[in-house]
């Protein structure tokens, strides 16, 4: 895949796309999942990434594709074993992302104890907004995440409700993986996930328009 620059942070190219599952209590409950005591981590390939005005492609392998709106955190300064008190110094900026999920494929994988990579990893399954620089965000744990489908709001909640904060996640991930400039963390979704189908128009907004993304579904 060609290298993609992070929109809004053009000195960075996308590296790894780390994702966190079950990081909001009411979302874990709506899918009948237990809330994990440690962050639940998975990866999406960078071929999932699309940008504003592009289209999510529904794959023929799935009959039930869901949106999950999430705060996206771009790492600007790498590191290993990053202490919590320094974690936010490693952030370059924030965006809004959609962790698109083939829920039927994920459900089968969960039942068998198989990885989620296929359910989460189809091309176009990670729409990401332009990122805003971190100094435009006073507190990453006080941001509204909102997504609408065809004008109807489906998810709208505050990052206050995260179980593991951005600080916690950067620290935790860096105890396992060396974080690198251009890594992006999708920090989990609040309640309200639902199906999307061909022809839908999806709009997501970080904190009432700090940055937004609009995509269609093909
Ligand atoms: Mg998610």
Look up tokens 């709506």; give the residue: 30
Tokens matching residue 66: 């869901």
Number of H helices, E strands in the chain: 4, 18
Tens digits of per-residue pLDDT, 100-109?
999 999 999 9
| Cα 77 to ligand 1 centroid, rounded to whole Å | 24
| Cα 20 to ligand 1 centroid, rounded to whole Å | 6
| pLDDT for 143 | 98
- Structural domain span for residue 84: 5-217
Give the number of domains in the chain: 1
| Cα 98 to ligand 1 centroid, rounded to whole Å | 8
| pLDDT for 35 | 86
Residues around ion ligand 1, judged by CB within 5 A, are: 68, 99, 189
- Assign residue 193 the CATH number of its domain: 3.90.850.10
CA distance 44 to 42: 7
pTM for this entry: 0.97
Range 37-65 average pLDDT:
97
- Name 162's Cβ contacts closer than 8 Å, sequence gap at least 6: 23, 24, 141, 187, 188
Residue 98 main-chain phi, psi, to 5 deg? -120, 115
| pLDDT for 2 | 61
| Cα 152 to ligand 1 centroid, rounded to whole Å | 20
Mean pLDDT score of the chain: 96
């Amino acid at each position: 895949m060609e290298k993609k620059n992070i929109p809004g942070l053009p000195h960075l190219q996308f590296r790894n796309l780390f994702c966190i599952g079950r990081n909001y209590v009411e979302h874990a409950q709506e899918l009948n999942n237990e809330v994990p005591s440690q962050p639940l981590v998975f990866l999406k390939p960078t071929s999932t990434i699309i940008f504003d005005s592009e289209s999510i492609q529904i794959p023929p392998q799935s009959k039930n594709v869901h949106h999950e709106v999430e705060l996206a955190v771009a790492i600007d300064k790498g590191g290993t074993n990053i202490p919590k008190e320094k974690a936010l110094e490693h952030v370059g900026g924030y965006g809004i992302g959609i962790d698109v999920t083939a829920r039927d494929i994920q459900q089968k994988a969960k039942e068998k104890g198989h990885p989620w990579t296929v359910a989460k990893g189809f091309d176009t399954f990670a729409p990401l907004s332009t990122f805003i620089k971190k100094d435009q965000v006073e507190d990453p744990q006080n941001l509204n995440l909102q997504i609408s489908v065809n004008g109807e709001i489906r998810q709208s909640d505050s990052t206050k409700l995260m179980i593991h904060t951005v600080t916690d996640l950067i620290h935790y991930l860096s105890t396992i993986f060396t974080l690198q400039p251009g890594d992006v963390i999708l920090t989990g979704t609040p309640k309200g996930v639902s199906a999307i189908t061909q022809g839908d128009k999806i709009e997501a907004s970080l904190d009432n328009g700090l940055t937004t993304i609009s995509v269609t579904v093909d």
